[in-house]
Each structure stands twice: as structure tokens, then as C-alpha cells.
Structure 1
Amino acid sequence: MKTRSARRTRRTLRVAGAGAAALLALSACSSSDSDDSSVKSDTSASASPELTGTVTVFAAASLKESFTTLGKEFEEAHPGTKVTFSFGGSDTLAASITGGAPADVFASASPKTMAIVTDAKDASGTPATFARNQLEIATLPGNPDKIASLKDLTKSGLKVVLCDETVPCGAAAQKALDASGLKLTPVSYEQDVKSALTKVELKEADAAVVYKTDVNAAGDKVEGVDFPESADAINDYPITLLKDAPNSAAAKAFIALVQSAEGQKVLTAAGFLKP
């Protein structure tokens, strides 16, 4: 009886010892996993370098107000950075980029002008559409000429300004005119949409075909008139990182801001349509 009792005791001790060892192993494993997780977290945090330096953005003139706002937000979110802009006609900006002008980001008012850059292999990756824009007629405050349609712009004696056809806003306006079977001879063709709008603001023209966003930005300096043909001439706005971007890390972060919910909020508030 004593022998059997002794065997039971030894067997019980062995089982208990094995269980304790297993618990210790699990505890050690859990501790190790926790340590690894902590290390990974620390490593991940240190792997995101702080953004610094200047981001140079070439952007269509119609983006001036919204991108200026986003530039300020970017600088506030990333102390030590500065966003500089060159606004103008998309075709002119594209030509500057392919000619070697140093820039980090290009935001165009049409895929056609973006193609100038991509065809020259000066873009890094595939451009992404981040917004769309629709045309509107800008008239003098109070619309004294009673302009109510695109056809009204063909009235004799009316001084109308268009963007040049090489510029996205001009190409879109011509597309709308062609779709309506209308012929319009403007008093001048402007190299970007802001220049066209300025002619009306300065009362050097009675009307101009520009973007809704530009009419919004002008406030009470002009009055906007919608026309249905504009729905057939909506421009997509693509953005891309440039191949030889001097500050690619910060440039990528700026593009991410433009595409983010916050960026889209700023753009839609300016009158842009969602992509």
C-alpha cells in the first residue's frame, strides 16, 4: 500500500511540475510577444520621418483659392515645411515641367494637358483624378445685359472673353459651343481662366465663360449664369507626383491631403465636383 501511495505522489508531482513549466513557457511567450509588439510599434513610429523642406506645386489657375487653403493646412500639420505654388494655364505649366522646371507636384485642369507631362515621362506613377469642374458664364454684377443662355453670348455688340482653346477652360467652352451649333467671336482669348475672369471684374468685358469655382471665388464682383450645355463639357482634374521631385516625401503627403476627406471638403466648398 505504501508503494502504491508513493507512486501516486510521484506521478502527481510530475504532472504538477509539467503544468507549471507549461504556464511558465506561455508566460514567457506572451511576454516575448508583447516585447516584440512594442519594438515593432517603436520601429514603425521611427520609420515615418518628419517632413521638412519646400514642396513646389504647379497647379491650374482655377485651383488657386482651394490649393492655397490646403497649402496653409499642410504647413500647419507639418511644421518645418513650406508649400509654394505656381498657378497658370495648364498647358503652360506642362510645357515648363517638360522643359526642366523644378517642381514636385503637377495638378492639371484636364487629362489632355496632363498627358503632355506623362508622354514626356516626367510623371512618377499614374495621375489620379481628384476633382471635376463645370463651366459657368460670368457677367457684370446684376447681369445688366440679361444674359440667360450660351446663345445670348452671340448677341451683337456684346463683349465676351474666352480662354484660349489650348487651355482646358477654353477647350471646354469650345466643346459646349460646338455641341450647341453656336459660333462666337470673343474680343480676346486669355491664357488662363483667371485672366478671362479679370476682364469682367475690371469691366473690360461684358461676360466670360469660366469655371463655377472662379465665379464663386470672385464673390460679388461678378454674377454667375448656368447653362445646360456645360454638363457636356466637364473637366476632370488629375494630379501627379513628378519624376524628379526634389522633395518627394513631402510631395506625396501633400497629394494625400488633396485626396483626403479634408481636402475634398475644401474643394467642394470652392465649387468643385467630386471625382
Structure 2
Amino acid sequence: MMFVEPPTSHYDVRFRVGSVPVRIHVMFWVVAVFLGLKTDGPTAPAELVIWIAAMTASILVHEFGHALMFQRFGGSPRITLYGFGGLASSDVQPRDSASQIWIAFAGPMAGFTLVGAIALLLKAAGGAIGFSSQPYAAVGLPDVDLTGLRLFGRYLYWQVFPNQHLNTLLYDLFVVNIYWGLLNLMPVYPLDGGQIAREAFQAFTGPQRGIRISLGVSILAAGAAALYAFTHGRFFMGVMFSYMAMQNYQVMAAYQSRSF
């Protein structure tokens, strides 16, 4: 969700994974703590630590998806985590739409791949995991406690383990990599889906018209998402999409004023 690297601070965490330098800005930790706090009661310290670990690992996996695709196209990527997400940037930026679409799509796909790997590990360990049209409580596996997430009118369920910390970690990893990954594919700029839509529109209608169309789609999609969020009690999500709708509207107004 960010395209400008934040200024460095004395509190940044820096390390490398292979050839890719990673910087975690202090504001990333602040936001992670804020998102990990429960709204309906106190948050156990262990739950908060697990949430921060799951969120950090998931966003790193997402950004490494972008980074590896940058490398595929000859770039030298670097990753910055900041605020609500992160940024994978490179000294070499491919100009063609197809390459940009691949780079944008690689982030969510990395998260979905992580979910698939976790599912395979659960299966290999003898655990239950799958999809059902019924709530997971009604799946009816003998002597197995289940939990899960609702997804497109169906239910992803998996086995509850004796270790509650493991259950919390699995739930947090699935939430971030599935729900956030799907939200990130919405055609709202600057989300990955918005970048994909912009490149696709530019490829089919030309650069200027493509940008105008993508901004219009972003405003409509962000507005619809904000309305849904506010009417379903998801205040934070509503604020986030309202901000993106306003941001895209301002960009469209500025772009149109320069076009005339």
C-alpha cells in the first residue's frame, strides 16, 4: 500500500535475506500492535506477540513475491515494511505492462502459496483441513474439534490442536494471507489489484485513457468497499478504503487538470 520509502530512523530493523536487503520501520511495529489489540476485551501478551509474528512473516512473504519477480526481470530489489504494509522496490523497473502485472500479482500469490504449504504440512502431520459448504461445526468429523474461516459462502476448516498458541498462529496466518491477500487484489490503487487493473487498462486503451479508467474504477471499488465495511461494523476497513477513494479522486482531479 505504499510507493515511497519512509525516511530512515535510528529504530529501524535491518537484515538481509539472500541478496535482498530488508528494512522494518518503527511505525510498522506500532501499527502491528494496534491491529493486534482486541476491541472486545483485554489482549493476552502471548496473543499479541503471535499476531505481530504472523503479520510480519506474512507481509515479508508477500513482499518477497514481488522482490523475486523483480529479480526475474533483472532488478536488484529491496524491501521496506512500514505502516500497514510494505514496499518492494528495485533499481530496475520494467516498463512493459505484462512485466508490471506479473510483479504486482506475485505478492498475493506468494501469500496464497504459503497458505497451501501450511495446509500440506497440516495434512502431512495427520491434521484435518478442507472446504465445506456447511459451518465447520457441522462438518462432523469424529473426535475432532474444528475451527475455520468463512470464504465466499463456504468454510475453510482445520483441526484444533492441544497447543492454543499453535491454534492462534494458524488462525492469524490464514487471516492475513487469505483475507488480506484477497482484499489486496481489489482493483483499487495503490493495492496490487489496482496496479494490475491500471496496467491492463493502459495496455488495451492507451496510457492516458488507461490511467483515467483505472482511477475511476478505483474510486468506485474503494467507495463500495468502504460502504460495505461501515454497514457491517468494520470501522477500520471502512476508514482505509474511504481514504483510498479520496486519494484516487484527488489524483484523478489533478490528472484531468493537467490534461486540459
Question: How does the TM-score come out when normalised to structure 1?
Answer: 0.25
Flag the structure with larger Rg: 1
Question: How does the TM-score come out when normalised to structure 2?
Answer: 0.26
Q: Which has the higher contact order (CA 8 A, sep 6+)?
A: 1
Decide which structure has greater helix share. 2
